[in-house]
Amino acid sequence: MEKEVIDSLAACLRSDIPAALVTITGTNGSSAGKTGDMMVVWSGSESRGTVGGGDLEFRAMSEAKKCLAAGVSREVSFALDEKSESEISCGGLTRMFIRVFNAGPRLIIVGGGHVGLELYHLGLHQGFSITVIDDRKEIADPDRFPEADILFSEDIAKTLAGYPITKEYCITIATRAHETDGQALEAVVGSDAGYVGMIGSSSKIKEVFKYLVEQGVSRAAIDRVYAPMGLNIATVKPKEIALSIFSEILLVKNSGSAEHMRAVKNISY
């Protein structure tokens, strides 16, 4: 079993697929798993190995999924209640370390509609690891986003609020409604993300910003938000809008400038 875990992890690394290696580092009292048990998790739901099965493994998988989405490693502990409704009822404490192996830059697409789908395709071409979050199961679906690393079809704000987002993240917000756009932005506006952008009209954006100020969000944090997101190069076509947004992401990520290259190079003849 250990060889299968290591082989699966190696295969993920060779294919540039983010993976999380979950290892039991210690136990106290009764535990479904034992120290040294390992499991590798990738693509949010694929796994190899075991850390005890039952409710313990379900909870470990859930934490591994969160770590993959956040791109961070962490130590976790699980208290097992003798009165638990899990398949394996036992008391005790199990400690695990979740080691995340990241793959390149990360893009969180909040809202998997027309623009989100085009951003997904652009992100793949640019080598980004992609997380898609949408509260509609028919949208956050593997058939729609077959190469996304993580898919969430849960409450958008709650999904975003629990992650320790780092400066390597780029976040685009274009959900199905103004309300969920605002809730998503509120969840990440104070994060360390390298890029946070939101789609919308001027009136909608002013309304959202006003709400954030009323909630105590600093103007400095709001000023870091790119809204409406994108460069002024697109029509109303989703493909062009997505390209304008991704151009802005690269501009910010690479500390570039919105100049023509002929002006930057200043070639004379």
Instruction: Characterize 112-145 residue by residue with b for buried, 16 or more Cβ atoms within 10 angstroms of its Cβ, and e for exposed.
Output: bbebbbbbbebbbeeebbbbbbbbeeebbbeebb
Question: Within 13 A of 170's CA, how many CA atoms are on the CB side?
Answer: 25
Residue 84 confidence (pLDDT) above 50: no
Residue 88 confidence (pLDDT) above 50: no
Least confident of 28-32, 57-61, 234-238: 28-32
pLDDT of residue 165: 83
Residue 122 three-state SS = helix
pLDDT tens digits, one per residue of 98-153: 999 876 688 999 999 999 999 999 999 998 989 999 999 999 999 999 999 889 99
pLDDT of residue 91: 60
CA pair distance 100, 262, nearest whole angstrom: 42
pLDDT of residue 163: 75
In 3D, which of 221, 228, 213 has the Cα closest to residue 191? 221
What letter represents residue 52's amino acid? G
pLDDT of residue 81: 63
pLDDT of residue 267: 79
pLDDT tens digits, one per residue of 217-260: 999 999 999 999 999 999 999 999 999 999 999 999 989 998 88
What is the mean predicted confidence (pLDDT) over 50-58?
88
131 strand-pairing partners: 108, 150
Tell how strand 38-42 and strand 19-28 pair up: antiparallel
53 compared with 99, residue with greater pLDDT: 99
Where in the chain does DSSP place strands (E)? 19-28, 38-42, 46-49, 74-80, 92-101, 106-110, 129-133, 150-152, 169-173, 195-198
Peptide bond into 228 cis (omega under 30): yes
Least confident of 11-20, 143-152, 204-213, 243-252: 11-20
pLDDT of residue 87: 43
- Among 3.30.70.360, 3.40.50.720, 3.40.50.1370, 3.50.50.60, name the CATH number for the domain at 106-253: 3.40.50.720
* Phi, psi (degrees; rounded to nearest 5) at 249: -60, -45
Domain-wise residue ranges, the chain? 2-101, 106-253
pLDDT of residue 112: 95
86 compared with 186, residue with greater pLDDT: 186
pLDDT of residue 34: 87
